[in-house]
Amino acid sequence: MRALATGITLIALLSGCSSDTTTINTSQSLVMESSVLSAGITTDEPTLSEHEGQQRASSVLYNQQERAVTLHYRFYWYDDKGLEILPFERPRTVTVAPHDKIEISSQTGNLTASKVRLYLYL
């Protein structure tokens, strides 16, 4: 009887773990943690263009504060089906001077790339 109860409990736990409902909304092209906005950094959604036969994404970061702000960012590339394209890009770090702007960008040679997401965090 104890083995049966243990088996049922184990099956219930495993079935709960297998129902992953995490989805990625690839139409959201800019994700910015609230701490970035609180630090005075603003930006627009990244723009896509073609540069030397590669897809290029770029965005301009604006610092509205009296002090320099160091933040991290990463571009995520997706194909038409919403699948992330390999290889994954490493996170990068940039410092934006007080009341200044800086352009950040990413390029991919994967011709199936059609969407990009920019993630900003401190």
Question: What is residue 18's predicted lDDT score, i.e. its pLDDT?
Answer: 44
What single letter denotes the amino acid at residue 92?
R
The structural domain count of the chain equals: 1
2 domain-assigned: no
| Domain annotation covers residue 74 | yes
In a domain, 8, yes or no: no
Q: What is the pTM of this model?
A: 0.77
Whether 6 is covered by a domain: the verdict is: no
Residue range of the domain that includes 47: 25-121
With respect to residue 47, please indicate whether it lies within any of the assigned structural domains. Answer: yes
82 Rama sector, left if φ>0, alpha if ψ -120 to 50, beta otherwise = left
Q: Residue 87 belongs to a domain with what CATH number? A: 2.60.40.3230
User: Taking 50 as the threshold, does the pLDDT of residue 113 lie above it?
Assistant: yes
pLDDT, tens digit (0-9, with 9 covering 90-100), for 49-102: 988 889 999 999 999 999 999 999 999 999 999 999 988 899 999 999 999 999
The vertex-76 CA angle with 96 and 113, nearest 5°, equals 125
> Does residue 105 fall inside a structural domain?
yes
pLDDT band, residue 1 (cuts 50/70/90): low
pLDDT of residue 87: 86
